[in-house]
A and B are shown apart, each in its own frame.
Chain A
Amino acid sequence: MTTTGAQEISVQEAYEQEPVASSARRALSSPWASLAAIVIAVLWTIPTIGLFITSFRPAADIADSGWWTVFTNPSFTLDNYDEVLNGDTALSTYFVNSIVITIPSVLIPVSIAVMAAYAFAWMKFPGRDLIFVGVFALQIVPIQVTMIPLLSLYVDRGLAGGDAPGGGFYTVWLSHSMFALPLAIYLMHNFMRQVPGELVESARVDGAGHVQIFSRIMLPLMVPAIAAFAIFQFLWVWNDLLVALVFAGGNPDVSPLTVRLAELSGTRGQAWYLLSAGAFVSLVVPLIVFLSLQRYFVRGLLAGSVKG
């Protein structure tokens, strides 16, 4: 009786859902929708193209006329890139710094967050929910509020300043990890909760401990989610100026690309024509990372919303 009732409902649901899905598909693949999508894509790309063209124009032209005038009056130069890459303070050193800052700042929070999320999702211990709510609530704290107290702590512990160990990189890594952890744990926890409980239980019946369940079952299932969050974190750290400025301060040897980029235009902003070239140099790496990991990104985002 109940079984047939449930079946009836699901059949009815399926019956009703079918036309919705197909009509949506029809609507989205109509020529007009495609046209709209293309128009939006073009509009969104125009500023980037303008920036790209500007980066190849001579300084005087940039100051005098807009980038669209190249179509009638083309003149291009590589001088901007030459100065940005090989000028007084070459971007290449900062490039290395950016990589050295970014990689640990992604690996540390991701590895901690995955383990913490497993504990919150599948281990029972007293106060678990309370602690989880506490971690979740930490997302509300704006990082600007924490900067001076955190830096004072680093200074007290001897981690910041001219004599800091590791040249001062520790403070940047630690800060980025701290600021990333609440969101990372929350996201990973939600992904992990959606793994069917039967999987975990059957593994336990087979005699697997937490370590085995975590490494044999959870990690492989979590790959898209980890990749998605890692891309997020990578882009955020790579583009970050504020944290680097505050916590890497005191040592130009550890400053990332963004810090140099902010100073590229010179003391009085007179060299602003270099900015477009500098922007493209710093854009290359995030672009490569995003394009090569894009499919994980989409899959990871969908992993939370679509079931079965």
Chain B
Amino acid sequence: MRSRNTRRGAAAAAVLLSAGLVLAGCGGDDDEGGSAGGTSPGEGKAECKDLTQFGDLSGKEVSLYTSIVAPEDKPYKDSFKLFEDCTGASVAYEGSKEFEAQLVVRVKSGNPPDVAFIPQPGLLQTLVKDTGKVVEAPQSVSDNVDEFYGEDWKKYGTVDGTFYAPPLTANVKSFVWYSPKMFQENGWDIPTTWDDMLALSDKIAATGIKPWCAGIESGEATGWPATDWLEDVLLRTAGADVYDQWVAHEIPFNDPAVVEGLDTVGNILKNDKYVNGGIGDVKSIATEPFQEAGYPIADGECAMHRQASFYAANWKEKDPNLEIGEDKDVFAFYLPPIGEEFGNPVLGGGEFVAAFSDAPEVQAFQTYISGGEWVNEKGKATPNGGFVSANKNLDIANVASPIDKLSTEILQDPDATFRFDGSDLMPGAVGAGSFWKEMTAWIAEDQSTQDTLDNIESSWP
């Protein structure tokens, strides 16, 4: 499992695999390609055709470390059954909420897992640059990503020109949750432009309901939902190119374009006519846990709540009877564009699969999980929703919940401009530090927009 003496064989396998993948459609049969030798248990089964090249992996184990804990881990475990049937190898799953700190500890002390699901490209960069223990993705994985994902997704798993980690899941952050029933009863329409949305907010405010609810409290990560607001708006006011420069710090953090973006956010989040529906005043945003910030919508005390697709799981905690759907209790609309020029870009996040071993079973696992089969297996294994991927091979019919279907459509739209959550790409001192803190101060202490952005700029390492 941890043998390192298979590099030559692995290289041969990689070459054969790349050939194998081209032929995959015709069921290419590369018996001698398996670096483990022997006959794969999946030999002859159509759904195993991508995995038979790795030979017989019976008795081998792939240890997997993730930040996804029970009960959300069950769909993952279920989705690995096909891999286990095809190769004979087993997957030892371990989830921890202390994942980000513990992974670094384990990698540095020489006890890394075989595979880890990394939620931020920034963490991948740290691991590659600081420890050098991340193993380059084999050719079969690289080919899978070329085939099934957009170019930008490959970029997030690449550090200094070397491709390490294929994408896994995705989520769409540019959503505004609302209650279709409430909108219907009051004759409100889903806004299609930013101005419409503000006009609707005024209209709702006139009825005595505060239209927006928000909450950014999240323990030591307090402030992150506010950073998403800024990123989403900046993409719409300044465009994806300026956004990329801002994330890469090619323009200062407090660039006038960003000031304008944050002021636009402030028009909603710091407007005491608009917030904080069902919760309190503007300052209550800072103390309201993000998990519960949308709940007033279900109680009819708030109309709109901007939060990612994964918020669907939280509604079930509020009330298991709440239904999510276009004409049900709650649903989400796509955050509308601000002006024509930059259209309607998608802000999102995702996870990446990094390997710390080049053993054949680990490469087989990475190949399986980056390919076209796994996403559909995972979709089928997640009947309650909560799974979205940017994989083009994901059949919408295999995605369970309406919000996941909508997210998948948005991600698979070839014309969509997708941008990764900027705070996950920035250096940790900013993206997981001053950016969160200053956005919290911006709301809680009514700190001015300019001061907020100046402070973050001065903290850039």
Contacts and interface: CB of A to CB of B under 8 A. Distances in A.
B102 interface: yes
A249 B333 CA distance: 41
A162 B109 contact: no
Interface in A73-105: 87-89
Nearest to A171: B111
**Helix, strand, loop or mixed for chain A's interface?**
helix
Contacts of A49: none
Contact of A246 (B97, B105, B110): B105
A259 to B, nearest CB: 7
B96 A250 contact: no
B72 A160 contact: no
Interface string B39-66: 0000000000000000000000101010
Given A249-B106, A250-B111, A266 B98 contact: no
Interface in A240-294: 245-246, 249-252, 259, 262-263, 266-273
Contact of B68 (A87, A155, A267): A267
Interface residues of A, number: 35
Interface string B312-338: 011011110000000000000000000
A87 B193 CA distance: 45
B169 to A, nearest CB: 12
A270 B317 contact: yes
B113 A250 contact: yes
Interface of B: 1-2, 61, 63, 65, 67-72, 74, 92-98, 102, 105-106, 108-111, 113, 218-219, 289, 291-292, 295, 310, 313-314, 316-319
Interface of A: 59-60, 63, 87-89, 147-149, 151-152, 154-156, 160-163, 245-246, 249-252, 259, 262-263, 266-273
Given A63-B317, A151-B109, A262-B96, 17 more contacts: A60-B319, A87-B70, A149-B109, A152-B110, A155-B111, A161-B2, A162-B1, A162-B2, A249-B94, A250-B63, A251-B92, A263-B97, A266-B70, A266-B71, A267-B68, A268-B291, A272-B291
27 contacts: A87-B70, A88-B70, A88-B71, A147-B105, A151-B111, A152-B108, A152-B109, A154-B109, A156-B110, A162-B92, A163-B1, A245-B98, A245-B102, A249-B96, A249-B106, A249-B111, A250-B63, A250-B94, A250-B106, A251-B94, A263-B69, A266-B313, A269-B219, A269-B289, A269-B291, A270-B313, A273-B317
